[in-house]
Amino acid sequence: MTSKPTTNFDYSQKLWRAVGKGDLTAMLKKLGELIGEGGIHTLESSSCGWPEIGYRFKKEVWGQGYATEFLKALLRAWWDLPRRRTRLRVHSSSIQRGRDVEAVEQIHANTDLQNIGSQKVLAKLGFVLFSEYTEPDTQEHRIGESLALKGYRLALPCIDTRDNNGN
């Protein structure tokens, strides 16, 4: 089974609201093995206001380029979606200083302060560190524990999402 992204903005927005989020999977094609997942987790992140991207991969495949490849494809699809002019309340450090600034669209990602590998993936794709903060963890096995995070942003179209053949 194959699927294509829709170019109908209203349909996409209605579907997003109904489902709440949409994760994609990363599979090793030759083995059909699930190695990771990710997606756009929210359209207005509570930590900065911009849409938030997230991902996770099996530890066994860390450092092999799969997260970078996955995010590059996800970002290409994200930036290719139809756009509509809108207003957002965003974290002041995620845009240039000034009043009533018309900001370039951004996408946001968080990493655990200790997750150097993920920070390298984001940097490789052009994400820029703009905040560090601590909040209560929401993972079941660590609910309420203090979690130190780094916030990254990427402006449209800061990355070259073309493959090695220029596509």
Is 11 domain-assigned? no
Which one-letter DSSP state was computed for residue 118?
A: H
Is 64 domain-assigned? yes
Is 160 domain-assigned? no
Is 167 domain-assigned? no
3-state secondary structure of 106: strand
Residue matched to tokens 């059909």: 32
Please tell me the predicted confidence (pLDDT) of residue 8.
54
CATH number at residue 46: 3.40.630.30
98 is written with which tokens?
Answer: 């000034």
Q: What is the pLDDT of residues 28-80, one digit of tens each?
A: 878 778 888 888 877 766 667 788 898 989 999 999 999 999 999 999 888 88
Please tell me the predicted confidence (pLDDT) of residue 3.
39
The domain total for the chain is 1
27 is written with which tokens?
Answer: 């599979």
pTM comes to 0.72
Give CA separation, 5 vs 38, 40, 78, 145, in Å: 16, 14, 10, 38
What range defines the domain where residue 104 resides?
A: 16-155
